[in-house]
Amino acid sequence: MKKVLFALFSFIVFLPLTAAADTAVELDAKVDEAIRNFQSEVDGADVFLQQSAGYLVFPRVIKVGIGLGAEIGEGALRVADSSVAYYRTTSGSFGFQLGAQAKSIVIAFMTEESLEQFQTSSGWQVGLDGSVALIDLGAGKQINNANIKDPVVGFIFGAKGLMYNLTLEGTKVSRVQKDR
């Protein structure tokens, strides 16, 4: 049991180091794949992304926890289908939790104002600096005008693991520099 706890603690401590390994080119390829997965899993996703002012894609966000939890991932902000900046998402939690999970996140800015507010912030925290309406598409998995009314909309998809958690509250998003 001590070995399992030590391994999980080590993973949580060194998680930020493993999340920063990708170059811009590698990260863009992962973002492209995540977008393709999003479009294949969700009916109307391609039209929805085209109608947004920009969208932030985190292709792989990893969360681990045993009492204390940590979540981290890197992604790209796309405007007009091109990456314009790179970001890291992080969050921490405390409470009853045990396990690990990987998921993909798309945060779409539906207005120019919401995109500009995000881009000009020095660090953006969901719930404090910006409210993100998390869309649960249910079994139908279809995006339409009836379920998209907010200026910032988030989707979590492709979740795998034992810690399924559909929340973005308290998530911190910070800009990072990437080498080509």
pLDDT tens figures, 80-95: 999 999 999 988 776 6
pTM: 0.79
Position 55 scores a pLDDT of: 96
Domain housing 171? 2-176
Taking the C-alpha atoms of residue 42 and residue 142, their distance in angstroms, rounded to an integer, is 6
Overall residue count recorded for the chain in this entry:
180
pLDDT at 41 > cutoff 60: yes
Helices and strands (H, E) in the chain, number of each type: 4, 6
Task: For residue range 44-65, list pLDDT tens digits in order.
Answer: 888 889 999 999 999 999 887 7
Task: For residue range 129-161, list pLDDT tens digits in order.
Answer: 456 777 655 545 566 555 566 788 888 887 776
15-50: b or e for each residue (b if 16 or more CB lie within 10 Å)?
A: beeebeebeeeebbebbbebbeebeeebebbeebbe
DSSP per residue, 140-164: T-B--TTT--SSEEEEEEEEEES--
% of the chain at pLDDT higher than 90: 29
Position 101 scores a pLDDT of: 80
Domain count along the chain? 1
Taking the C-alpha atoms of residue 164 and residue 180, their distance in angstroms, rounded to an integer, is 33
Q: Quick one: CA dihedral 102, 169, 108, 18, positive or negative?
A: negative
Residues 98, 102, 121: CA angle, nearest 5 degrees = 105
Position 17 scores a pLDDT of: 47
Q: Mean pLDDT, the chain, as a whole number?
A: 77
Which of these, 123, 129, 121, lies nearest to 90 by C-alpha position?
Answer: 123
- Cα pseudo-dihedral 105, 106, 112, 118, rounded to 10: 10
Taking the C-alpha atoms of residue 48 and residue 157, their distance in angstroms, rounded to an integer, is 15
pLDDT at 107 > cutoff 60: yes
